[in-house]
């Protein structure tokens, strides 16, 4: 008989796909209500993946051709797991639209909160919302839609996720964050450009939202990254506390 | 948001892979080709380690890569890196295949298991020298002999923990524990976070 203590110890076997049948089911059920188990299982899965990354054999050239040929006719699933119904013509259109669609969805996220970049199939709604959005949102969308836009995403502390989108051409950057804890009363999150170690203020974030898209105020002007600090309401001329997040700009 | 996070300096074999998979999710075939070039070698190596048979492993690797294309819209960066997602999928599929083959052949007895006892170097033959491999090799050396054998049998040969127990003549509970404490030691040595 498998006890709860035994189930805790199955994280390693789970991460290595070394459980079979009933035990896999029992462990997954247990993990659903055991946060530390889920966390450990995730870390050990990431560790196991490193064992895979450490080995490599040169794949035959024919395999590359076969796989690339196959994907040209395989439909992709939607984020909720259903297969998208998509004609070849629609696929081409989707590809042409994809960058703008992404931008539109992010713009919608800026106004509504909670929308993710992956919900690109909601493009039409998002486009409508983006068009009616205020100019700040349009400026954000312009950065996101820029052909040279580059993004970098990272897990921040406390379950928050941050993405920075930089357009060198427009010399602008947008910071998107979700799951961010609200600052303490009387405090705000302030954004900074990192000019090779010197912090230059890039405006404040909206303290009332845990999900938001913010256009960094001012030009990127060669900054190598950005940071976020907690500052007294109204912001500071220079950071008065260590950064809660630092993101390097994508090259 | 308690700690400073430096993502600019995060070591990664392919810094843009997460972003590429995001583009794949939007139907970008060029981005998929770049993802293929970045991971196909490892996907195939994982399949070959577990399955041994070159034709079968190539078949599984192709299925995995097409599945990456198909399910990219469901990939969530907050649940882990793209390379982690892809290699976990590759291992899962290779293990599924070897178990269905084994069930058909009913050949999971001890002699067969011992015949498959892997050595990391054997698995990595043909491997190009690279930092990732060196780091994993160095960290595997920090495990006890039993931990290392248990973890490599489970990962590179796709054994269940009860098969690991049988192959190494360990009690079942010990096999579970060695897989866990071995991976924990490896995690700490590699500095893996999730």
Per-residue pLDDT tens digits for A145-186: 777 777 777 777 777 778 788 888 888 898 888 777 888 888
Is B107-194 a domain of CATH 1.10.10.10? yes
> Residue B31's pLDDT band (boundaries 50, 70, 90)?
very high
**Which of these ranges, A186-195, B2-11, B105-114, has the smallest mean pLDDT?**
B2-11
Interval A125-131 mean pLDDT: 40
Write out the two tokens for B14: 């392919």
Domain boundary among A145, A174, A196: A145
The CATH code of domain B15-106 reads 1.10.1740.10
Which pLDDT belongs to residue A116? 38
Q: Which domain holds residue A11?
A: 4-53
Residue of B nearest to A11 (CA): B180
Contacts for A89 with CB less than 8 Å, ≥ 6 apart: none
Q: Which residue has the higher pLDDT, B136 or A1?
A: B136
Same domain, A92 and A122: yes
Same domain, A102 and A138: yes
Which pLDDT belongs to residue A79? 75
Q: Which residue has the higher pLDDT, A109 or B46?
A: B46
Computed over every residue of chain A, the mean pLDDT equals 75
CB-closest option in B70, B155, B193 to A76? B70
Share of chain B above pLDDT 90, in %: 65
Rounded Cα gap, residues A97 and A26, in angstroms: 44
CB-closest option in A63, A157, A244 to B62? A63
CB-closest option in A42, A59, A181 to B41? A59
Same domain, A247 and A152: yes
Same domain, A202 and A102: no
> Residue B181's pLDDT band (boundaries 50, 70, 90)?
very high
> Residue A64's pLDDT band (boundaries 50, 70, 90)?
very high
- Work out the angle between the directed axes of helices B54-71 and B82-105 (0-180°, nearest 10): 140
Which pLDDT belongs to residue A85? 43
Report CB contact under 8 Å: B22, A117.
Answer: yes
Rounded Cα gap, residues B45 and B156, in angstroms: 9
Query: pLDDT for B80-121, tens place per residue?
Result: 899 999 999 999 999 999 888 766 665 444 455 555 555 555
Q: Which of residues 151-190 of B touch A (CB under 8 A)?
A: 151-152, 154-156, 158-164, 173, 175-184, 186-187, 190
For residue A70, being part of any structural domain is answered with: no
Statement: residue A48 has pLDDT above 50: yes
Q: Which residues of chain B are in CATH 1.10.10.10 domains?
A: 107-194
For residue A198, being part of any structural domain is answered with: yes
Interval B37-60 mean pLDDT: 93
Q: Which residue has the higher pLDDT, A243 or B96?
A: B96
A219 phi/psi in degrees, rounded to 5: -85, 150
**Which of these ranges, A18-27, A135-144, B10-19, B114-123, has the smallest mean pLDDT?**
B114-123
Which pLDDT belongs to residue A80? 64
Statement: residue A47 has pLDDT above 70: yes
For residue A40, being part of any structural domain is answered with: yes
Cβ atoms of A13 and B183 closer than 8 Å: no
Residue of A nearest to B131 (CA): A54
Q: Which residue has the higher pLDDT, A122 or A23?
A: A23
Statement: residue A249 has pLDDT above 60: yes
Which pLDDT belongs to residue A160? 78
Same domain, A140 and A161: no
- Which of A12, A77, A242 has the most B C-beta neighbours within 10 Å, making it the best mutation to test the interface with B? A12
Write out the two tokens for A15: 């991460």
Statement: residue B186 has pLDDT above 80: yes
pTM, to two decimals: 0.58
Q: How far, CA to CA in Å, does A187 sit from each of A181, A208, B92? A: 12, 11, 47
SS3 label, residue B6? strand
**Which of these ranges, A116-130, A132-146, B61-75, B168-182, has the smallest mean pLDDT?**
A116-130
Q: Which residues of chain B are in CATH 1.10.1740.10 domains?
A: 15-106
Q: How many residues does chain A have?
A: 251
The full DSSP string for chain A is: ---HHHHHTTHHHHHTT---HHHHHHHHHHHHT-HHHHHHHHHHHHHHHHHHHT---PPPHHHHHHHHHHHTTPPPBPTTSPBP---HHHHHHHHHHHHHHHHHHHHHHHHHSS--TT-GGGHHHHHHHHHHS-HHHHHHHHHHH-TT-EEEEEE-GGG-EEEEEEETTTTEEEEEEESPPPPPTTEEEEEEEEETTEEEEEEE--TT-SSEEEEPSS--TT--EEEEEEEETT--SS--S--SEEEEPP-
Share of chain B above pLDDT 70, in %: 77
For residue A14, being part of any structural domain is answered with: yes
Is B128 touching A (CB cutoff 8 A)? yes
> Residue B31's closest CA among B45, B46, B16?
B16
- The Cβ of residue B157 has, within 10 Å, a number of other Cβ atoms equal to 21
SS3 label, residue B135? helix
Interval B10-26 mean pLDDT: 75
Same domain, A163 and A206: yes
Contacts for B136 with CB less than 8 Å, ≥ 6 apart: A50, A51, A53, A54, B120, B190
Which pLDDT belongs to residue B169? 94
Q: Which of residues 15-74 of B touch A (CB under 8 A)?
A: 16, 18-19, 22-23, 25-29, 32-33, 36-37, 40-46, 48-49, 58, 61-62, 65-66, 69-74
Same domain, A227 and A206: yes
Q: How many domains does chain A have?
A: 3
Same domain, A173 and A248: yes
Q: Which residue has the higher pLDDT, B80 or B178?
A: B178
Statement: residue A54 has pLDDT above 70: yes
> Residue B29's pLDDT band (boundaries 50, 70, 90)?
very high
Contacts for B150 with CB less than 8 Å, ≥ 6 apart: B164, B168, B170, B175, B178, B179, B182
Report CB contact under 8 Å: A16, B123.
Answer: no
Cβ atoms of B152 and B124 closer than 8 Å: no
């Amino acid at each position: 008989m498998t006890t709860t203590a035994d189930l805790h110890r199955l994280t390693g076997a789970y991460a290595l796909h070394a459980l079979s049948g009933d035990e896999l089911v029992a462990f997954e059920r247990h993990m659903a209500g055991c946060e530390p188990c889920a966390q450990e299982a995730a870390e050990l899965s990431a560790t196991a993946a490193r064992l895979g990354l450490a080995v490599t054999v040169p794949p035959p050239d024919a395999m590359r051709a076969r796989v690339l040929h196959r994907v040209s006719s395989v439909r992709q699933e939607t984020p909720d797991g259903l297969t998208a119904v998509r004609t070849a013509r629609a696929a081409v259109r989707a590809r042409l639209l994809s960058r703008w669609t992404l931008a539109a969805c992010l713009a919608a996220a800026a106004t509504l909160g909670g929308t993710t970049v992956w919900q690109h199939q909601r493009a039409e709604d998002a486009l409508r919302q983006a068009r009616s959005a205020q100019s700040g949102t349009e400026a954000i969308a312009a950065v996101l839609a820029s052909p040279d836009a580059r993004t970098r995403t990272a897990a921040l502390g406390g379950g928050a996720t941050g993405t920075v989108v930089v357009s060198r051409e427009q010399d602008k950057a947008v910071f998107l964050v979700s799951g961010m804890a609200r600052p303490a009363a009387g405090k705000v999150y302030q954004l900074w450009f990192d000019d090779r170690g010197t912090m230059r203020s890039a405006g404040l974030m909206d303290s009332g939202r845990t999900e938001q898209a913010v256009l960094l105020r001012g030009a990127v002007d060669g900054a190598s990254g950005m940071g976020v600090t907690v500052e007294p309401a109204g912001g500071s001329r220079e950071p008065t506390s260590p950064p809660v997040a630092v993101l390097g700009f994508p090259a | 948001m308690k700690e400073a996070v430096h993502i600019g300096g995060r070591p990664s074999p392919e810094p843009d892979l997460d972003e590429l998979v995001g583009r794949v999710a939007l139907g970008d075939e060029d981005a998929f080709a770049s993802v293929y070039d970045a991971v196909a070698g490892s996907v195939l190596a994982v399949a070959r380690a577990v399955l041994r048979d070159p034709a079968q492993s190539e078949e599984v690797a192709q299925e995995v890569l097409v599945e990456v294309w198909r399910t990219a819209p469901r990939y969530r960066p907050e649940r882990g890196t793209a390379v982690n997602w892809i290699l976990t999928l590759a291992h899962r599929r290779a293990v599924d295949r070897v178990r269905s083959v084994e069930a058909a052949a009913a050949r999971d007895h001890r002699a067969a298991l011992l015949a498959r006892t892997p050595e990391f170097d054997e698995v990595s033959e043909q491997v190009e020298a690279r930092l990732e491999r060196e780091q994993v090799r160095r960290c595997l050396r920090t495990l006890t002999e039993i931990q290392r054998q248990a973890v490599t049998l489970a990962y590179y040969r796709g054994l269940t923990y009860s098969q690991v127990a049988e192959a190494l003549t360990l009690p079942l509970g010990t096999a579970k524990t060695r897989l866990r404490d071995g991976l924990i030691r490896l995690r700490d040595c590699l500095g893996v976070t999730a």
